[in-house]
C-alpha cells in the first residue's frame, strides 16, 4: 500500500459521521383567544408591544402614521408622516424607529410622544423591522429573502442572513427567533436569527370572516404579548385584531 493510500485509509477510519440534514420546519396553526377592534383605515406595516402599550406604524403616502395606546382601543398618541410611505417599526426603550418603503429614510421618535427626533438615510427598500434584545441589533427586511442587521444607534448595516424565502415583510423579534409575515400570504415564518434557517411555519388563514375580507388587504402585523406565549395579529385595512397562540398543526 502506498503512503497516500495508507493516509487515506487512516483518515477515512477516523472521519466523523456525516452531519444530518436540518430538521424540517415545525408546522403550526393559530388558536384564537380573543378578538379586538382595529382601525379599518389603518394600512398596518408594523406592530409591537412595549409593556401594555401597542405601537402601530401605518403606510400609504398621505396616510402614514405612528400610533400608540392600549390594544383594541383608540390610540392615545399619534403622529402623522406627511409625504412618506411608512413601513416597519420597533421600540428601543425611550425611542422608536420607523422605516419607510422607498424613501430611504428611517425616523427615530420619542417613545412617549412619538415626536420625531432625527432622520437617518439608508439604501434600498424598507419593509419590516424588529429589535433583538440579546444582541442589541435591529433586524430589517426589504421584501426579499434577506434579513439585514443594523446598529440601533447609527442604523448602519452590520451583517445579515439569507432565509431562502422571498417577500419577508413585517417582523417580530422574540428571543433568538424572528417571526416574519410573508407578503400576499397568510403564512408567518419563525426564523433562527443567527443562521436564517426557517424553524417553523404558521398557517394564519381563516381569521377574518368572509364578509370582512372584501375591503381588507393582506395579513401584516405580528406583536408578541409580553410575559406570555401569545401574539396579536392583524392586517392592512383589517377591522379586527386577534390575540392568538401558535399551536401544533394536526
- pLDDT tens for each residue of 134-162: 899 999 999 999 999 999 999 999 999 99
CA–CA separation, 215 and 238 (whole Å) = 8
Q: What are phi and psi of 61, to 5 degrees?
A: -65, 130
Q: What is the mean pLDDT of residues 169-177?
A: 96
- pLDDT tens for each residue of 74-111: 999 999 999 999 999 999 999 999 999 999 999 999 99
Residue 115 confidence (pLDDT) above 80: yes
What residues does each domain of the chain span? 22-248
CA–CA separation, 86 and 98 (whole Å) = 7
Strands (E), the chain: 26-37, 44-50, 53-58, 65-70, 77-80, 86-92, 95-100, 105-110, 116-121, 129-131, 138-141, 146-150, 157-162, 168-174, 177-182, 187-192, 198-203, 219-224, 230-235, 240-248
Q: How confident is the model at residue 11 (pLDDT cuts 50, 70, 90)?
A: very low
Q: How confident is the model at residue 246 (pLDDT cuts 50, 70, 90)?
A: very high
- Average predicted confidence (pLDDT) for the chain: 91
- Listed residue (31, 55, 27, 43) closest to 169, CA to CA: 43
- Listed residue (230, 234, 206) closest to 222, CA to CA: 234
Instruction: Report percent pLDDT > 90 for the chain.
Output: 87
Angstrom distances, CA of residue 56 to CA of 149, 157, 201: 21, 24, 24
Looking at residue 33, its pLDDT comes to 98
- Given CATH 2.130.10.10, say whether it is the number of domain 22-248: yes
Looking at residue 103, its pLDDT comes to 97
Amino acid at each position: 500500500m502506498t503512503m497516500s493510500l495508507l493516509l487515506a485509509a487512516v483518515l477515512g477510519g477516523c472521519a466523523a459521521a456525516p452531519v444530518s440534514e436540518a430538521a424540517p420546519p415545525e408546522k403550526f396553526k393559530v388558536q384564537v383567544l380573543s378578538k379586538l377592534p382595529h382601525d379599518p383605515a389603518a394600512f398596518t406595516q408594523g406592530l409591537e408591544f412595549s409593556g401594555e402599550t401597542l405601537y402601530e406604524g401605518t403606510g400609504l403616502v398621505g396616510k402614514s402614521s405612528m400610533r400608540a395606546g392600549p390594544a383594541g382601543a383608540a390610540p392615545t398618541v399619534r403622529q402623522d408622516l406627511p409625504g412618506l410611505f411608512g413601513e416597519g417599526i420597533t421600540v428601543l426603550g425611550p425611542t422608536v424607529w420607523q422605516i419607510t418603503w422607498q424613501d430611504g429614510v428611517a425616523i427615530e421618535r420619542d417613545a412617549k410622544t412619538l415626536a420625531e427626533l432625527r432622520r437617518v438615510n439608508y439604501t434600498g427598500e424598507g419593509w419590516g423591522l424588529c429589535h433583538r434584545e440579546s444582541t442589541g441589533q435591529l433586524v430589517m427586511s426589504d421584501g426579499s429573502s434577506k434579513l439585514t442587521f443594523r446598529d440601533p444607534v447609527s442604523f448602519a448595516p452590520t451583517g445579515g442572513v439569507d432565509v431562502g424565502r422571498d417577500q419577508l415583510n413585517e417582523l417580530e423579534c422574540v428571543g433568538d427567533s424572528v417571526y416574519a409575515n410573508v407578503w400576499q400570504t397568510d403564512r408567518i415564518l419563525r426564523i433562527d436569527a443567527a443562521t436564517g434557517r426557517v424553524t417553523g411555519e404558521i398557517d394564519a388563514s381563516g381569521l377574518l370572516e368572509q364578509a370582512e375580507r372584501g375591503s381588507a388587504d393582506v395579513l401584516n402585523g405580528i406583536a408578541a404579548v409580553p410575559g406570555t406565549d401569545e401574539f396579536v395579529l392583524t392586517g392592512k385595512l383589517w377591522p379586527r385584531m386577534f390575540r392568538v397562540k401558535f399551536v401544533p398543526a394536526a
